[in-house]
Amino acid sequence: MPTSSASDASAEVATKPAAAGGGVQSLERAFDLLERMADAGGEVGLSELSASSGLPLPTIHRLMRTLVVCGYVRQQTNRRYALGPRLIRLGESASRLLGTWARPYLARLVEETGETANMALLDGDEIVYVAQVPSKHSMRMFTEVGRRVLPHSTGVGKALLAHVPADEVRALLSRTGMPAATDKTITTPDGFLSALEEVRRAGYAVDDNEQEIGVRCLAVSVPNSPTAAAISISGPAGRVTETATERIVPVLQQVAVELSEALANSGPAA
């Protein structure tokens, strides 16, 4: 007995197996497609999504059509797909929430190191600061939340790019340029790649008077963060000395691991 397409859709939803953990499989698939599109970094075709996800083309088409209607995906004139503008609002809200979750961990950094603590994300080709807890010292470093800087002159930028393939780093630097903020700023791609190699070797990044004369910054990436994130402390070079670095870096690394675990559990520390 023939049925309508609406009835077919209802039957499909009713008989669709539950996702792992009792979730909704179609939602899991839709979010997986969005993440694959983000990883692709531009336009993507249905056949590419089908090949990478293992889902059949009809399923991909149905999910993408729904995402287009909702504004989370847009279809280009060449019939390929790109992330849609409605995701911007979600991303901005998520960034603010990420900063809120990070504040207790940054407060711990201030308590244990005595210096200003920051959290920053890689947003496109720029670094954006999303959270800060200032030092209690009368002389302290202020990096305004929401401020955007180029990655090549910052400790957080080095920490965030340390494990990005060299060709992608060079492409980013060619887009942004490498203007000198101070006479200590690294201004060549080869020099910056050498600095990233040192970050990988040492396990932390240093901004030594490169963004602002008289200021030293120590930074580490947040492992397994849902988006590329780093935390840092910054202070006068006279306080953030080599000796202080030996004391501060293990604290930074430990807090980064704890923050990573909290983000994986979708909430702040108890």
Residue ranges of the domains in the chain? 17-84, 92-264
- Whole-angstrom CA distances from 77 to 43, 50, 72, 74 are 11, 20, 17, 10
Helix (H, G, I), strand (E, B) or coil at 159: helix
Q: Quick one: how many helices (H) and strands (E) in the chain? A: 9, 8
Q: Which residue has the higher pLDDT, 12 or 145?
A: 145
| Torsions phi, psi for 268 (to 5 deg) | -80, 175
Query: What is the average pLDDT value for the chain, to the nearest integer?
Result: 83
pLDDT in the model for residue 142 = 54
Same fold yes or no, 17-84 and 92-264: no
Tens of pLDDT, residues 13-28: 333 444 445 567 888 8
pLDDT in the model for residue 96 = 63
Does the domain spanning 17-84 belong to CATH 1.10.10.10?
yes
Tens of pLDDT, residues 173-211: 999 999 999 999 999 999 999 999 999 999 999 999 999
CA contacts within 13 A on the Cβ side of 71: 6
Predicted TM-score (pTM) of this structure: 0.68
In this predicted structure, the answer to whether residue 97 has a pLDDT above a threshold of 80 is no
Q: Which CATH number fits domain 92-264: 1.20.1440.230, 3.20.20.150, 3.30.450.40, 3.40.50.300?
A: 3.30.450.40
